[in-house]
Structure 1
Amino acid sequence: MCTRYISPEVREIEAFWRIDRRSNQRKDWENLLTVCPLALATFIRRADEVDYARELVVGQWGMIPPWSKTHVPTTARGTRMSTVNARTEGVEKSPTFKDAWARGKRCIIPATSFDEPNWETGKNVWWRFRRADGAPWGLAGLWNTWTDLDTGELWDNFAMLTMNADAHPLMARMHKPDPTLPPDQQDKRSVIPLEANDFDRWLTCTVEEARAMLKVPPVELLDAGPVVA
């Protein structure tokens, strides 16, 4: 589960991903490099159902459920929800994410790095994950658009897809372990990186093909270690 990442600057995103156009450049958006839940950040999606055309969009990191009365994700009873990550297991049944998944609203989330908590010392030590080849991450995500019924304002929003990483030699070391469960049942989570030759496929393929693309990162791809203050 990822709750903090660093975004490349817009000019870097446009150059690396060869963005055809921008859309929805919100007036309240600041190009913050460190992205936390509910912040406005950039993501890449397919443009107007046109094959292989990409657009850069500003949206909220945190999917807004269709029943939510505000852009802050809430349950039907009004309790705050965490929707920055979408579990791939059961995503097709999740009330929050199933519509985006079924309609192929997949996106790419640019990241210079992402952070995960490590509890091996008995306290939280943040680790930073970069690509070993120096390229930016293109993380698999879902997006949707929510309408504020009071103002008519449209809110593009997105979430990172995650999957179980209990068997991964590095990702399984992240997050606080549950001492009551064995190592292979901790449900440690990992984000899902996409490779450059899969970017267009991820944005345009069928749901069945997208499911087959969901994989945890190979350990040799990861350059990771404690965050240096």
Structure 2
Amino acid sequence: MSTHYETLPTADAYSESFAVAPPEALGERHLWPRKPGFFIVHAATAAAIAQPVAKAAADVAIDVPTDAPPQESTEVPAINTDRVLVSAQWGLVPHWVKSASDAKLRATKLVNAKSDTASTGTAFRDAWLNGQRCIVPMNAFYEDDLRSGKAVPTRVARVDGKPMGVAGLWARWQGADGEVIISYCLLNVNANNHALLHRYGQPGSEKSMPAILNEGAYDAWLTARPEKAKEFMRQYAAQWLLANPVEKKADKIPKGLLG
């Protein structure tokens, strides 16, 4: 499971690839657990995150009296499905965490959720069942190649160089003193039989990869019912991905010049 990814390199990339207004500041290019990043949700959901007492339009039940006069409209208000970029911490903080210190400890271990257990695992279950789904924009993610016995960081990106939208879950935590932490995690799928990603990670362990969404499925992922959400948890085709070892500064120094 990846614990390092790249955010988008330019502001234009957010609007061009995800149809969202770019952030005021791009933030850190390389993201690690507990660092501030971004996720994407619909505007109605973003409003509910900011003001939890006000439910999103999709969650509001409309009661229509059976004896309502014919001239009264019974249409359900339109849901604002414009996409919004939300600033948040990478590393989920479940709503039931008791303190900010406990939140910090848990967040580093909750940056990834296995898609096959997200609906039952204690940390992610509520976010999954409550439909707290998001899209995490990224330019690339990193995995360790351990086949040589030495960890070689490897950058995985799309062949065409375009950003990836990874399926994720978000959460809102509020402490007794009013402190609020908005957080998210990436959803992962099994990659044991993936033509590319099966090479990475600890030998003998289950291989996994981020659940990369097809561009045309973004809105469907955000609005799908919980029982349908797992249909989006699929491997991204190996031929659409490119993996390159990351060159370290020491690798560029001629051996004769070393110590």
* TM-score, scaled relative to structure 1: 0.86
Which consecutive residues of structure 2, in runs of 5 or more, have no partner in the other structure?
A: 45-55, 57-78, 249-259
- Aligned residues: percent identity? 30
Q: Distance in 1 between matches of 2:40 and 2:3?
A: 19
Q: Distance in 2 between matches of 1:33 and 1:3?
A: 14
Counterpart residue number, 2:73:
none
Deviations 1:126-153 (A, max 9, x none): 1101101221010110001111222x12
Contact 1:21–1:55 (Cα < 8 Å) also in 2? no
Q: How does 1:49-88 map to 2 (within 5 A)?
A: 49=56, 50-65=79-94, 66-70=96-100, 73=103, 82-88=109-115
Q: Which has the larger radius of gyration?
A: 2
Counterpart residue number, 1:18:
19
Q: Distance in 2 between matches of 1:106 and 1:220?
A: 27
Deviation of residue 21 (structure 1)? 8.4
Counterpart residue number, 1:128:
155
Deviations 1:101-141 (A, max 9, x none): 01111111011111001101101001101101221010110
Higher strand share: 1
Counterpart residue number, 1:2:
2
SS in 1 for 2:166: strand
Deviation of residue 160 (structure 1)? 0.2
Deviation of residue 71 (structure 1)? 6.2
Q: Distance in 1 between matches of 2:241 and 2:206?
A: 20
Counterpart residue number, 2:75:
none
Q: Which amino acid aligns with 1:17?
A: F
Counterpart residue number, 1:212:
231
Deviations 1:14-70 (A, max 9, x none): 332111687xx8xxx871110000000011012214352211000000001222411
Q: Which runs of 4+ in 1 moved over 6 A?
A: none
Instruction: Please tell me whether residue 111 in structure 1 is matched to residue 138 in structure 2.
Output: yes
Deviation of residue 189 (structure 1)? 1.1
Q: How many residues align?
A: 213
